Amino acid sequence: MERKIRNMVFAAVCVLAARISLSAQEYPAGVIDKTVAVVGGEMVAISDIENEMQMMHAQGMASDKSMRCEVLENILQSKLFLVQARLDSLTVNQAMVEASLNERMDQVRTQLGGDKEAEEYFGKPLYKLRQEWRTALQDQSLTQQEQQKIANAIPPVTPYDVQQYIDNSDKADLPVIPIKYQLSQICVYPDREAAKLAVKERLLKIRERIMKGEKFSVMARLYSQDPGSARRGGELGMASKNIFWPAFSDAAMALKPGVVSQIVETPDGFHIIEVLAKDGDMFNARHILMKPEYTRDDREKAFVRLDSLRTKIVEGDMTFGQAARFYSEDPSTRTNMGQMSDPNTGSAYFEIDQLKPQDYAAIRGLKEGEISRPIESLDNEGRAGNTVYKILRLDKILPAHTASFTNDYDQLMSQAKQKKQIDAVNAFIEEKIGTTYIVIDPIFADCEFENSKWLEKIRK
């Protein structure tokens, strides 16, 4: 939407901000907190505004009166949706609320260093924080459902609507479609099992040295491939078990402090773990991470194989699709004759920033239909991806251009639909300002709201 409605309390939790920071320049002297607006049966307090301001300040935004006016207007809009959601008898998605609540609690406790530290920071027990944040998330659930209900109520967008959208838009406002590439690939993986065995052997030797008396922290600084924790002797800090891979958390929670684990495998690689302290479902641990590594021989063998396939394709002995189907080791593209698709969108076309740097470097100078030389790249597994060797064919180039009805109908239809949804939401706000009981404190009388109708609700 043109101006997305923020969730005030939820955002405040994200930056761990719950304290009120008032300035005599913005509010009357001596005011600590008070209700400054009423929308239907919903109230807005100074603390609601300041929580959001604190988040913006943490993001480097200036904290001035005009910003507070904008924040207040966003909250007022949010309250309109919440009031209507209650009238429409919408129900809270409790499962999503609890999942979001648990995630935020884990983040807070981890960033502050534990339950006790979190309680000291916020000045209240965790159960009280959970109650307050649960209420805020429940309101957010209702607000989002009401917004979605309004947006989904628009009629289906037709080709006529899309053409009208184009005709009524300035050409400069129509989206510019960046250059896109359609690619196919043939992938060969190195001997991953041999590499896993080798890294396990190295990690076992390190564990043996620790068991014989060498310090875990020293070994972590020397050998761990997790640069963030290696500098701290492998220490991760007190954190909720839910922020780690399950296999890592399960192993750590099963350890007694001071005991070194056996080798633990996660999508990041292989670890040995030493727990320093535990507190409920939180723990502080050291770990040493090592990842499978591949030799020049692995690379050369893969390149020879891929070069041979490339030669056969170029000479016409087989098609690229046939070679991909019979020889590629990437299951996601092998069954589609090697054609790649964006794992996030499913699109067969990639913008430059959606391609891995190694892949873009390989196809940058190619013409349509040409095949790259073998390269070393990464797949889409785990956090960073696994080593893979490949050749790429540049199937098609879509030059950058202004979106047109013929070539970019889907994207224009999406934008036309979004505009209709924005219009529907704005019409709802416009109507509800006029029909809902709303009172705003005079201290905001000089605000320049985006919708001037809010000024009619300032208490005289």
Give residue 162's pLDDT: 94
Give residue 11's pLDDT: 35
Tell me what the pLDDT averaged over the chain comes to: 87
Instruction: Give the domains, in start order, of the chain with CATH numbers.
Output: 8-156+419-457 (1.10.4030.10), 180-190+294-399 (3.10.50.40), 193-290 (3.10.50.40)
Is 277 a residue whose pLDDT tops 50?
yes
How far from the centroid of its chain's Cα atoms is residue 40's Cα? Answer: 34
Can you tell me the distance from the alpha carbon of 156 to that of 164, in angstroms, rounded to the nearest whole number?
14
Give residue 4's pLDDT: 33
Give residue 22's pLDDT: 38
User: Strand 387-398 relative to strand 180-188: parallel, antiparallel, unpaired?
Assistant: antiparallel
Is 19 a residue whose pLDDT tops 70?
no
Is 21 a residue whose pLDDT tops 60?
no
Query: Which of 225-239, 374-388, 413-427 has the least mean pLDDT?
Result: 374-388
Give residue 17's pLDDT: 35
Give residue 123's pLDDT: 80
Give residue 56's pLDDT: 64
How far from the centroid of its chain's Cα atoms is residue 262's Cα? Answer: 32
Is 14 a residue whose pLDDT tops 90?
no
Give residue 145's pLDDT: 95
Alpha helices in 184-337 (DSSP H): 192-211, 216-223, 227-230, 246-254, 296-314, 320-327, 331-334
Which of the four pLDDT bands, split at 50, 70 and 90, describes residue 432?
Answer: very high
For 419-433, what is the mean pLDDT? 95
pTM for this one? 0.64
Give residue 431's pLDDT: 95
SS3 content of the chain, % helix, strand, coil (to 5): 50, 15, 35
Give residue 32's pLDDT: 66
Is 306 a residue whose pLDDT tops 80?
yes
Give residue 30's pLDDT: 56
Can you tell me the distance from the alpha carbon of 301 to that of 93, in angstroms, rounded to the nearest whole number?
54
Give residue 116's pLDDT: 84
Residue with tokens 């490949």: 390
Give residue 343's pLDDT: 82
Q: Model confidence over 341-367: pLDDT tens digits?
A: 988 778 899 999 999 999 999 999 999
Torsional class of 234: left (φ above 0), alpha (ψ -120 to 50), beta (otherwise): left
Give residue 8's pLDDT: 32
Closest residue by Cα to residue 454 from 69, 143, 151, 142: 69
Can you tell me the distance from the alpha carbon of 270 to that of 261, in angstroms, rounded to the nearest whole number?
11
For 379-395, what is the mean pLDDT? 87
Closest residue by Cα to residue 289 from 266, 313, 323, 256: 266
Is 95 a residue whose pLDDT tops 50?
yes
Residue with tokens 């889409």: 380
